[in-house]
């Protein structure tokens, strides 16, 4: 079994909580619905990081996942520094970490890269990024990855040793990994079209003219299952498969 610690860096809006629970629960459902037998090997532990519920030690779990958040990596919130310390300790110890959206930005920013508010504006809806480097751990190759996006911050510089997996003109660093220790995506494989339709109207005025164009793409087919399989294959490769 693989003990996956889900580091929840946000709380859902009240009207979404009854149906979706939390970002951690959304990831659990997402992984459980994948057809790969690797999904049956996961055991979950949840940490509500925004309430300063943080791991006491890095080996409480075999691997860690940092979720999305309304916060930015530049926000002076009391939980960000303890989470950064935990991520760096895991990285130094070779414990694998997954990051999605804010988690993607947070790992890049705190491992020597940079993330921040982008002059590109909001990216929402289904977007495609070109696969630049095929994952070393997966036999399933793809030329592009389509995922649901909802972000206005971006990774502008990758950390040392990182491999850019995918990118596009709007989001150059859409996915990256660092050897057996980090795999991160700007897009949301755990989001569904229904969830996005319920989430984004409250941000309509802030998003501006891109709102209607982005929402028009919500039902376009995406590659969330491919990305989910990549994530679980990465954990298996990092924890089970030994080099050589």
pLDDT of amino acid 102: 98
In a domain, 153, yes or no: yes
N-to-C CA span, the chain? 22
| Overall domain count for the chain | 1
* Alpha carbons 190 and 148: distance in angstroms, whole number: 9
In a domain, 66, yes or no: yes
Average pLDDT over residues 116-131: 94
In a domain, 18, yes or no: yes
**Listed residue (207, 210, 120) closest to 156, CA to CA:** 120
More confident residue, 181 or 206: 181
pLDDT of amino acid 122: 93
Q: Are 204 and 211 in contact (CB under 8 A)?
A: yes
pTM for the whole structure? 0.96
How many CB atoms neighbour CB 49 within 10 A?
23
pLDDT of amino acid 203: 86
* Alpha carbons 40 and 38: distance in angstroms, whole number: 5
Average pLDDT over residues 62-76: 97
In a domain, 36, yes or no: yes
Q: Are 148 and 188 in contact (CB under 8 A)?
A: yes
Supply the range of the domain harboring residue 204.
2-239
Counting residues of the chain whose pLDDT is more than 90, the rounded percentage is 92
* Alpha carbons 198 and 221: distance in angstroms, whole number: 18
In a domain, 73, yes or no: yes
In a domain, 102, yes or no: yes
Using 50, 70 and 90 to split pLDDT, how confident is the model at 241?
confident
In a domain, 244, yes or no: no
pLDDT tens column, 129-167: 999 999 999 988 899 999 999 999 999 999 999 999 999
Return the CATH number at 53.
Answer: 3.40.50.880
Average pLDDT over residues 169-181: 97
pLDDT of amino acid 240: 84
Average pLDDT over residues 67-96: 97
In a domain, 207, yes or no: yes
pLDDT tens column, 184-227: 999 999 999 999 999 999 888 888 889 999 999 999 999 999 99
Q: Are 185 and 100 in contact (CB under 8 A)?
A: yes
């Amino acid at each position: 079994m693989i003990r996956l610690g889900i580091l929840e860096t946000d709380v859902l809006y009240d009207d979404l909580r009854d149906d979706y629970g939390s970002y951690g629960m959304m990831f659990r459902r997402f992984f459980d619905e994948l057809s790969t037998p690797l999904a049956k090997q996961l055991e979950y532990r949840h940490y509500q990081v925004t309430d300063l519920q943080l791991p006491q030690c890095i080996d409480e779990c075999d691997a860690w996942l940092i979720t999305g958040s309304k916060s930015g990596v530049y926000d002076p919130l009391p939980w960000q520094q303890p989470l950064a310390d935990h991520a760096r300790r895991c990285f130094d110890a070779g414990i694998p970490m997954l990051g999605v959206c804010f988690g993607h930005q947070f790992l890049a920013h705190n491992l020597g890269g940079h993330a921040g508010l982008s002059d590109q504006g909001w990216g929402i809806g289904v977007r495609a990024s070109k696969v630049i480097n095929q994952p070393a751990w997966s036999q399933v190759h793809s030329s592009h990855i389509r995922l649901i996006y909802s972000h206005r911050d971006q990774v502008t510089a990758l950390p040392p040793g990182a491999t850019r997996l995918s990118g596009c003109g709007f989001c150059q660093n859409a996915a990256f990994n660092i050897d057996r220790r980090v795999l991160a995506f700007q897009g949301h494989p755990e989001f569904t079209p229904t969830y996005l339709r319920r989430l984004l109207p409250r941000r309509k005025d802030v998003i501006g003219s891109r709102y209607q164009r982005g929402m028009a793409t919500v039902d376009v087919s995406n590659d969330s299952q491919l990305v989910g399989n990549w994530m679980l294959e990465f954990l298996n490769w990092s924890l089970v498969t030994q080099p050589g």
